[in-house]
Structure 1
């Protein structure tokens, strides 16, 4: 049925979370594509996102050809921010038997593995297309390049060194996982991955930046928190989106410093009020918030990071790769 309703980012997230589990995935694809065709995307910057979500639903349904068409269109709509979309397109071309085109698309993006911590989507697309040996070769090459760079560029800034360390950690772990899936024996990089993982289990004890588990307020609770205690307005970002972006960046930074067993605990206004009353403490005091976070366990605890295709930790229902993962780059 025709509609004039705008397609918001929240609605795209909701559709992404439903995906092929919806009783009518075709209707979701039609809603997304229809909004793009009719210029009803609330934020034009979300046009490519809407098309990629539609493409992903088609992939889950096994319709690779139509998914490829939508992915190609997403690239044309927003060519300035297309690395993820081009990787997805390359993977689809491979899965459709168009080997030369697919590898050409992905090979152009290969250097990102040496500079962008999130570029392991290239490895995912190669592996999903059955090109695990190529994926392993690319991971090894990226590790070789970064390791060589750290040896030869002795005067890099501290931030650059931290970024290189984080990338070595992430690439080594992804490579180690892939080799285990392939049944390959340990090599030097596998041993490095094991050592880094073991070291990271103790790394946060040496950090002064805070606990491994951060206090996070779900959307409704975040709004209610600032209404209940206006004094907290200066202690938190202006919006919930900024709050979850701040949490994502803090976790990414802790991970880059070697932190493991990271996560968030979801707070509630009622829970904080009850805790403060029980402890005789000020609910607007930072120490009270830290102690309240320490008291939360069980269903309130959410491990970080989730898998790229798992539901995001923030509770939006969207996949992590489409929701808070990109916020760590903000």
Structure 2
């Protein structure tokens, strides 16, 4: 009979000094899943093995574990597929990263309940039309259809680089749900405003856009995209004074002004530190270091660019662009070019 070896992470904080791995050889048949393999171990080899499972249908998210280094739902992961993918009969099964271990493959996920409460992650309906029900168009549902599939498995949080470094950041799933309710026409407008404030306070601008959450989501949701949409909603609502919003404005203004992102002037635009910029330029030039490749724009470029930007701004397509700031960027470039000639 064909077999596979499960190398399972074992650790009980109450009795063990450190984690260890234990190998189990299990028989496999066509279509058998990792969860079924774990169940076989518990029923036939080692009843002390601890893991979570409930629906066995990819709906509850409770069986999420790391399988060969990647978060997956154990109930939806065929053993043979992993063996073929890694060209090995040994499969390494570990608990989700970045969570406190309760025992073996079971981690503490109670924090998601607090996040749900803090973010108000439920629909708060406005008053429906008199003697009628709310109607939601198919076009509207498409805006947040994927987001309703979120099963709170926390795979996205287990790989999130921002969550690793930033305690206020609440993890991708919270912003997925935030976007879902922001897009719902049935919700009270004052609650939508409250959601934006909560997202801002929860450090939504700390997302690094590393796309790891997108790569591991078992429901093919793109949390990183939803975070960008929440950020856009924050800027559109007029909340432009946070460092994150100022960075967005900086990037857009410099790209539209010069075709480049200029990290040199980022502190000046975001933290009002012109002095630091000047001192940095001076130090770099003293040591013969190239500070920034100042763009020498072709004749007629600025006039054409101005027409395009004005049209975009007037149509409301790009709210974060500040035409006056772009003009100031032109002046900075002109001054730098003159200094370069000297």
Query: Structure 1 or 2: larger strand share?
Result: 2
Larger Rg: 2
Task: Work out whether the TM-score is over 0.5.
Answer: no
With structure 2 as the length reference, what TM-score do the two structures score? 0.26
Query: Structure 1 or 2: larger helix share?
Result: 1
